[in-house]
Structure 1
Amino acid sequence: GGVELPDEASFKGYDLILDALFGIGLKAEIIGRYADVISAVNRVDTPVIAIDIPSGVSADTGQICGCAVQADLTVTMQYQKLGQSLYPGAALCGEILVKDVGITDLCVKWDSEPVYALEKKDLEDLLPARYPDANKGTYGKLLLIAGTEGMAGAAVLCAGAALRCGCGLVKVLSAEKNRVILQSSLPEALFAPWPEDCDLTEHLAWADAVAIGPGLDTTLQCRHLLEFVLSRWDGPLIADAGALNLIASDAALSKLLRPDTIITPHPGEMSRLSARFQTVESSVLEINADPVHSAVACADAWNCICVLKGARTVITDSRQVWLNQYGNEGMAAGGSGDVLTGIIGSLLAQGTDPVDAAKAGVLLHALSGDAAAGALGTRAMKAGDITAFLSRIFMDASSK
């Protein structure tokens, strides 16, 4: 049976197209007659159902193998494939239905460890407990080292998110000229100028957790501050933004990273960091093409927890991998990463296990971004809106 397609393939006049041209084993680029057929499918308005995965989408990475079918519905067998969650493949799957066909884990030989999807229901088990007889000391003290002169906004966004996530006390160590902005914007936060000699002994003795990096630059003073923290602090730590750029520019700093430090690079920062944990620097395109591999390689090399930010944020301690599928394009705004650092830092200060803090922080950040988008629309969003809607996510989590 079947119909041999003429050279000018056309699928007009059909009510439904079932795409089963290629499956999850596709590795090579699609060319020639097969590419013509896919182009013909994409030219018509007929609904398309893909079997297992749209033809042309890599099941491993979500990358396009030359060309790919745009499906309206994908019916996939037994397990959702990683490439159906990662862009650009995720955008080609339409609605995804996972159908049980009787395959069990015992029947599958995994080439690598599975990637786990974060779900809203995970929050209930990840968030730290609250107590009716608590005081401000109960919920931890976060030391935030952020904001060179003219970059007070990064410190405000980060500290504001930390406070909104229930941290008992937040102290912002920043440039002296940021004092008025910080204390007028966030009267709930403590402020201290960073010392000229970069001796942070007193401040580290006060803290339960440290966050460093938002709004920092690569000056010698910032390098000394980071070096002091990395060499003297052995508690929970998250490093972001300027701290990551300093580590990328100085091999000596990368050797000071302690186990279970959380780092939160975006692909550009990961590209610069990659030269420190592998022989050749990866480009942003290479990182985006396989973010799971990039994050695992980083976490494995430095024994850290890597949160590789993006439309599909990857969280890994190198042994297990989690993928966030919430969030939206409205979160692609300056300061969004500072908010994430504040959320995770707050959870660390409250005693949350570092891996759980990274997972919960990414979930809270993304779900709050979705709540903000629902109320404001993605075009009108700014980073501070993510913080503003965190309370709604906490209320939803506590009501279940």
Structure 2
Amino acid sequence: MGRADALAAAHGVPGLVLMENAGRAVAEAAVAVAPRAGAAIAVACGPGNNGGDGFVAARLLREQGYQVRLGLLGSRESLKGDAAAMAQRWGEPVEPLAATTVAGADLIIDALFGAGLSRPLDGIAADVVGAINVSGTPVVAVDVPSGLDGTTGTSSGPVVQATCTVTFFRLKPGHLLLPGRALCGEVLVADIGIPEQALQEIGARTFVNRPTLWRKAYPWPRIDGHKYTRGHAVVVSGPAESTGAARMGARGALRAGAGLVTVVGSVTATAVNATHLTAVMIKGVGGDAALGEFLSDVRRNAALIGPGAGVGAGTAATVLTVLASPAAVVLDADALTSFAPGESQEPVRATGFGFVVRGTEPAPTPEGLFSAIKARKAPVVLTPHEGEFKRLFGEFAGPSAGSKLERTRRAAETSGAVVILKGPDTVIASPDGRAAINDNAPPWLATAGSGDVLAGLVTGLLAQSMPAFEAACAAVWLHGECAKRLGVGLIAEDLPEALPQVLQTLQTQR
């Protein structure tokens, strides 16, 4: 926000105007949350601009007849700039902030610290946060709940549990990443007068995953299109006893709009798949060489490998075969873990293609996978959950590795692939530095097979030549919307069938 404020000033919007508008937005939220007109409101103000917003809100609420008690962390004389000016306009008593400041209030406004805080709260501030949290009183937080790092969504100390958070101009990563999202309550984004041009000048590289981010790139059917112009997606099946995951991926690719979808597998796997598939084609191949030949045809536009493949050197060898093709590639599940250190010491037949006799080839490594990805022209998308991410990108998974956003960005840069780090706060990152945070996934999406469907959605969009970062973002968002529409009790097989209605709604908003 500091840079946005400075750019706003450069465009002729004074800081005092921004602060007045911010405080007004907080006051409006407080009125909406307060249990009754004239309620007792405690305002906890910090020593910076967040505290200045609190002074504005306190003044406006007092003018509306609310009983306002204001406590300040630090001395009034130490306030500077716009915050000092707003404290002067308050013109009412200011008490030293203490835990007793919030006692007996009907509503608390947390204006202690904003999104820029990166240290743990201590002393009086920590005591007040503790008192707020045990009070059970509704809380309106200014910018972010105090104690929360607005960049990472994490904290190493106490954090206010807010009922509602009022932020300004744009959401911050801390509003979207866990545990921050759970601490913010309802988040309201207020327009305080920062011009849109400021965002362009900042050159934002982190986005909320919304259709506005990728709608223009979405491959909507053309009036002159047909199945061959809508791309051919290939899904590599696991062995006969674990073919279901590939079929779910194939169904996702088909519903995402791929004109043709083929599941390829060993002869035994193909026999199983044949009893379950109709609109999806099947093809038996006898080994990696035959698979490579099949994928060498430039009409095979995208390929998915990993769901149900099995972990081992055999799967790793097949992955390298797929990466040697001209197709866009999605690597999921076992295709990732097969390159993790210590995971492929013993050979397994896995997909039925790449049996590798132990000792004849070096063990697969993450570096080997990343080299193969960087050596190709067509894009690659990796779709790990936290466990798979930790195994493949071990150096980025420790407690000192940074936020989920930072870790995903580093993984994309290191691997040369677009990375989807899955979870309730999925992050999508591109090797070029762009990243998006997704926030529409309901908790009931956590069910076996949902990741296979997601991988299929990405593959289906890539098959239609949608750019990889946009395809990944679109697939993640559509996946979440399907789950929201289905509700509690969904199973993975339901997700592709919900996609037509979600797409129809999206199309009407074009």
Decide: shared fold, TM above 0.5: yes
Aligned to 1:29: 120
Q: Distance in 2 between matches of 1:19 and 1:351?
A: 48
Q: Distance in 2 between matches of 1:229 and 1:331?
A: 29
Aligned to 1:398: 507
Partner SS state of residue 465, structure 2: coil
1:216 aligns with 2:321: no
Letter in 1 for 2:435: V
2:464 to 350, 357, 364: 350
Partner SS state of residue 150, structure 1: helix
Contact 2:176–2:438, Cα closer than 8 Å, also in 1: no
Partner SS state of residue 28, structure 1: coil
Aligned-pair CA distance for 1:290: 0.9
Aligned-pair CA distance for 1:104: 4.8
Structure having greater relative contact order (Cα 8 Å, sep ≥ 6): 1
Deviations 1:286-313 (A, max 9, x none): 66x6111111111112222111111121
2:397 to 271, 274, 282: 282
Alignment of 1:252-291 (within 5 A): 252-257=368-373, 258=376, 260-275=379-394, 280=395, 282-283=397-398, 290-291=403-404
Aligned to 1:196: 287
Letter in 1 for 2:500: S
Contact 2:213–2:470, Cα closer than 8 Å, also in 1: no
- Greater mean alpha carbon deviation, residues 126-135 or residues 34-43: 126-135
Alignment of 1:281-360 (within 5 A): 282-283=397-398, 290-318=403-431, 319-360=433-474
Aligned to 1:389: 498
Partner SS state of residue 256, structure 1: helix
Q: Distance in 1 between matches of 2:210 and 2:261?
A: 29
Aligned to 1:244: 336
Aligned-pair CA distance for 1:198: 4.2
Deviations 1:184-210 (A, max 9, x none): 222111212342354323311251211
Change (3 A) 1:107 1:357: closer
Contact 2:105–2:137, Cα closer than 8 Å, also in 1: yes
Change (3 A) 1:5 1:227: closer
Partner SS state of residue 210, structure 1: strand
1:371 aligns with 2:485: yes
Partner SS state of residue 414, structure 2: helix
Letter in 2 for 1:322: A
Partner SS state of residue 338, structure 2: helix
Change (3 A) 1:176 1:390: same
Q: Distance in 2 between matches of 1:294 and 1:66?
A: 22
Aligned-pair CA distance for 1:65: 3.1
Aligned to 2:206: 115
Change (3 A) 1:307 1:197: closer
Aligned-pair CA distance for 1:42: 1.2
- Greater mean alpha carbon deviation, residues 82-91 or residues 195-204: 195-204
Q: Distance in 1 between matches of 2:172 and 2:255?
A: 35
Contact 2:251–2:496, Cα closer than 8 Å, also in 1: yes
Contact 1:147–1:214, Cα closer than 8 Å, also in 2: yes
Aligned length: 387
- Greater mean alpha carbon deviation, residues 33-42 or residues 245-254: 245-254
Deviations 1:110-151 (A, max 9, x none): 999541112245564232131344332121111111323321
1:94 aligns with 2:203: no
Partner SS state of residue 315, structure 1: strand
Change (3 A) 1:398 1:79: closer
Contact 1:165–1:347, Cα closer than 8 Å, also in 2: yes
Contact 1:248–1:254, Cα closer than 8 Å, also in 2: no
Q: Larger Rg: 1 or 2?
A: 2
2:300 to 183, 193, 207: 207
Deviations 1:61-94 (A, max 9, x none): 1112311111111111323211111111111111
Partner SS state of residue 17, structure 1: strand
Contact 1:209–1:236, Cα closer than 8 Å, also in 2: yes
- Greater mean alpha carbon deviation, residues 326-335 or residues 302-311: 302-311
Contact 1:198–1:225, Cα closer than 8 Å, also in 2: no
What root-mean-square deviation, in Å, do the aligned CA atoms of Structure 1 and Structure 2 show?
A: 2.5
Partner SS state of residue 240, structure 2: coil
Q: Distance in 2 between matches of 1:398 and 1:214?
A: 30
Q: Distance in 2 between matches of 1:3 and 1:47?
A: 21
Aligned-pair CA distance for 1:33: 3.3
Letter in 2 for 1:85: L
Q: Distance in 2 between matches of 1:152 and 1:18?
A: 55
1:234 to 326, 340, 344: 326
- Greater mean alpha carbon deviation, residues 176-185 or residues 147-156: 176-185
Change (3 A) 1:220 1:92: closer
Tell me the TM-score normalized by structure 2. Answer: 0.70
Contact 1:198–1:221, Cα closer than 8 Å, also in 2: no
Partner SS state of residue 255, structure 1: helix
Aligned to 2:145: 54
1:72 aligns with 2:163: yes
Q: Distance in 1 between matches of 2:120 and 2:111?
A: 16
Aligned to 2:6: none
- Identity among equivalent pairs (%): 32
Contact 1:183–1:189, Cα closer than 8 Å, also in 2: no
Change (3 A) 1:112 1:244: farther
Contact 2:237–2:309, Cα closer than 8 Å, also in 1: yes
Contact 1:128–1:347, Cα closer than 8 Å, also in 2: yes
Change (3 A) 1:132 1:139: same
Change (3 A) 1:13 1:384: same
1:135 aligns with 2:226: yes
Q: Distance in 2 between matches of 1:334 and 1:117?
A: 26
Q: Distance in 2 between matches of 1:167 and 1:78?
A: 38
Aligned to 2:475: 361
Partner SS state of residue 393, structure 2: helix
Aligned-pair CA distance for 1:332: 0.9
